[in-house]
Amino acid sequence: MAEHLIAAKDLRLRLDGRDIFHIPEFSLQRGEVLALVGPNGSGKSSLLLTLALLQEPTEGTVRFDGRPAGRDNALALRRRMALVFQEALLLDATVRRNLMIALRLRGVTGREAEQRANRWLDRFGIAHLASRKARRLSGGEAQRTSLARAFALEPEVLFLDEPFASLDYPTRRSLLGELGKLLKDMNMTTLFVTHDYTEIPYLADRVMVLYEGRIIKTGSVRQVFGDQIVERKVWAPWEDAE
């Protein structure tokens, strides 16, 4: 078992002749929740997609569990991951079917799939919505479904790309609190992307600040934001760089 679940050196992405990011060193340890934060356009989503093996880097290689990822094994490695995006991306089917279909695609069928789906719907407080059509859910319910689906897959790593950005404040707060507890209880290795740094203390152990495709700061939540984050009187760490 490799020391880091995900690691990369000299990872670069260029798109349309533009440098999107250059990351000299990246690592995600097993069981840690790493927040990747930065202003709009700093390259957070591009880096997440590259680490999730959905975007091929221009230079450098992503290592997953010690093995270099390439075209030959990317699909197999992606089956060990789960992603949640800002939009819930649900199929036009019932809530339970959304989980069951995802499980079936990962080779989990029958009773096991049904039990797992029910367990995670219950855990996210949406068991009563199991037979509801996904397109008739509120934004918060849809994102709960999307999170339940990701957890039901029992991934080794969870990628969260601004999963709360479309939710109103009270919904966001309750979901952040629940998710933070769940990630800790399950020791889930997680990369969490956000431009809203007030979300970070709910979830993350460590923070990486991205600005114009470069890491300008990294450390624990307190090291990067100081004690003020506890009082929610925080500044954006990239303001120094502007």
Ligand X SMILES: Nc1ncnc2c1ncn2[C@@H]1O[C@H](COP(=O)(O)OP(=O)(O)OP(=O)(O)O)[C@@H](O)[C@H]1O
Task: Give the interface with ligand X as residue ranges (CB under 6 A).
Answer: 15-16, 20, 38, 40-46, 195
Nearer to ligand X, 3 or 56 (CB): 56
Nearer to ligand X, 45 or 118 (CB): 45
Cross-strand pairs, 3: none
CA angle 162, 73, 149 (to 5 degrees): 35
Nearer to ligand X, 19 or 154 (CB): 19
**Spatial contact of 158 and 84, defined as CB atoms under 8 Å apart:** yes
Question: How many CA atoms lie less than 13 Å away from 4 in the CB half-sphere?
Answer: 16
Distances (CA, A) of 89 to 102, 106, 235: 12, 17, 32
Tokens of 62: 């992503």
Cα separation, 209 vs 207, in Å, equals: 6
**Spatial contact of 156 and 81, defined as CB atoms under 8 Å apart:** yes
Nearer to ligand X, 40 or 131 (CB): 40
Nearer to ligand X, 56 or 168 (CB): 56
Choose among 99, 105, 147, 143: nearest CA to 123: 147
